[in-house]
């Protein structure tokens, strides 16, 4: 299934453009509208769709995604709903689907059950904000065994000695965090170009920037690096 991610980046590369990877909090602003928005993003050309699992304590997220998570939870969004949403999208679209979550909802759901159900739903990749690859190794291995890409988060503060270990087990693409702090705050870290260069030297996987990307971000600055 993670092969869909590779094909999406291949298309963007052939067309000489950046890949568009929108993020949508699953269940926001309500379940019906969330399904409509997710479908519209796939239909209108998203190269890959990130579905964010709403969580009551999203410590890595800024106020915008925090409020979106609160709205989604009030509307009844659960991990089961998010997986069902992914399954419905997969039945209609070939757009790669990446589930972005904190580990607590998965732990509550059951990690083995999550791997099985995510695979059945056609999820292509998983990003876990608060679970490093050294922890829960059987869970990470189970995802990879079922063809689900385990996407590494790489921060500006990632130490050089740790970076090779992160990219070694990563799949799909490398999610490079453009700035320290929570989501929704603009401005990339001044050292992000050198981090992108190191990632390129260590792995053939595409490099994608997140956190700190806003309308004022000079994307041309990163051309050829991400």
Residues 127-148: tens digit of each pLDDT? 999 999 999 999 999 999 999 9
- Bridge partner list, 154: 176
For the segment 31-50, what is each residue's pLDDT rounded down to a tens digit? 999 999 999 999 999 999 99
**Is residue 72 within 8 Å of residue 54, measured between CB atoms?**
yes
pLDDT above 90 covers what percent of the chain?
A: 70
The token duo for 178 is 């453009």
pLDDT for 155: 86
- Bridge partner list, 142: none
Taking the C-alpha atoms of residue 71 and residue 80, their distance in angstroms, rounded to an integer, is 17
User: Whole-structure pTM over 0.85, yes or no?
Assistant: yes
Q: Which domains are delineated in the chain?
A: 3-150 (3.20.20.70), 170-226 (no CATH)
Taking the C-alpha atoms of residue 17 and residue 10, their distance in angstroms, rounded to an integer, is 10
pLDDT for 223: 63
Provide the pLDDT confidence category of residue 188 given band limits of 50, 70 and 90.
Answer: low
Please give the span between the terminal C-alpha atoms of the chain, in angstroms, as a whole number: 23
Provide the pLDDT confidence category of residue 18 given band limits of 50, 70 and 90.
Answer: confident
CB burial class (10 A; 0-12, 13-18, 19+) of residue 16? exposed
- Closest Cα partner for 21 from 48, 56, 52, 3? 48
**Is residue 207 within 8 Å of residue 226, measured between CB atoms?**
yes
Active site residue ranges: 50, 61
Percent composition of the chain: helix, strand, coil (DSSP 3-state, to 5): 45, 15, 45
The answer on pLDDT for 183 being more than 60 is no
The token duo for 51 is 């579905």
- Closest Cα partner for 123 from 226, 53, 68, 20? 53
């Amino acid at each position: 299934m993670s092969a869909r991610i590779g094909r999406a980046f291949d298309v963007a590369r052939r067309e000489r453009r950046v890949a568009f990877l929108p993020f949508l909090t699953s269940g926001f602003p309500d379940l019906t509208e969330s399904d409509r928005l997710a479908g519209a993003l796939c239909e209108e050309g998203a190269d890959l769709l990130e579905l964010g699992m709403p969580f009551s304590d999203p410590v890595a997220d800024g106020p915008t995604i925090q409020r979106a998570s609160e709205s989604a939870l009030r509307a009844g969004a659960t991990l089961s709903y998010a997986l069902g949403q992914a399954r419905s999208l997969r039945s209609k679209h070939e757009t790669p689907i990446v589930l972005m979550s904190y580990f607590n909802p998965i732990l509550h759901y059951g990690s083995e059950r999550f791997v099985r159900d995510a695979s059945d739903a056609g999820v292509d990749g998983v990003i876990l904000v608060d679970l490093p690859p050294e922890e829960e190794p059987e869970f990470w291995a189970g995802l990879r065994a079922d063809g689900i890409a385990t996407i590494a988060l790489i921060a500006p503060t990632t130490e050089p000695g740790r970076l090779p270990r992160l990219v070694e087990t990563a799949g799909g693409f490398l999610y490079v965090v453009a700035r320290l702090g929570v989501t929704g705050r603009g401005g990339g870290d001044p050292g992000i170009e050198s981090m992108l260069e190191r990632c390129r030297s260590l792995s053939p996987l595409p490099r994608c920037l997140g956190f700190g990307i806003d309308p004022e971000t000079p994307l041309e600055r990163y051309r050829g690096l991400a």
